[in-house]
């Protein structure tokens, strides 16, 4: 499961709706729910991209980062 957050301001994190949706999808998947990964793709005007992964408790971590200036 992934979706876009079209704005990244350095403080992007999963919303309550993101976390709630992940929980519901895991429940729908039953025993396969443990394999679900939730990703957020975000970027800013300078074309810097970040991909975050989050869990059903709202904790999130950086998965990938691309800086166009590098």
Q: Tens of pLDDT along 37-51? A: 999 888 877 778 889
pLDDT averaged over the chain? 85
**Boundaries of domain holding 39:** 2-66
Query: What pTM value is reported for the model?
Result: 0.72
Q: Tens of pLDDT along 14-64? A: 888 889 999 999 999 999 999 999 998 888 777 788 899 998 888 999 989
Residue 6's pLDDT is 66
Q: How many CA atoms lie within 13 A of 25 on its CB side?
A: 15
Asked if residue 10 has pLDDT above 90, the reply is no
CA distance 5 to 33: 23
Residue 46's pLDDT is 76
Burial class (CB in 10 A: 0-12, 13-18, 19+), 6: exposed
Domain count, the chain: 1
């Amino acid at each position: 499961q992934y979706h876009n957050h079209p704005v990244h301001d350095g403080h992007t994190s999963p919303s309550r709706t993101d976390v709630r949706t992940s929980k519901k999808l895991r429940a729908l998947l039953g025993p396969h729910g443990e394999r679900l990964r939730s990703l957020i793709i975000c970027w800013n005007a300078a074309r810097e991209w970040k991909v975050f992964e989050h869990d059903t408790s709202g904790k999130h971590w950086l998965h990938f980062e691309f800086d166009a200036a590098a």
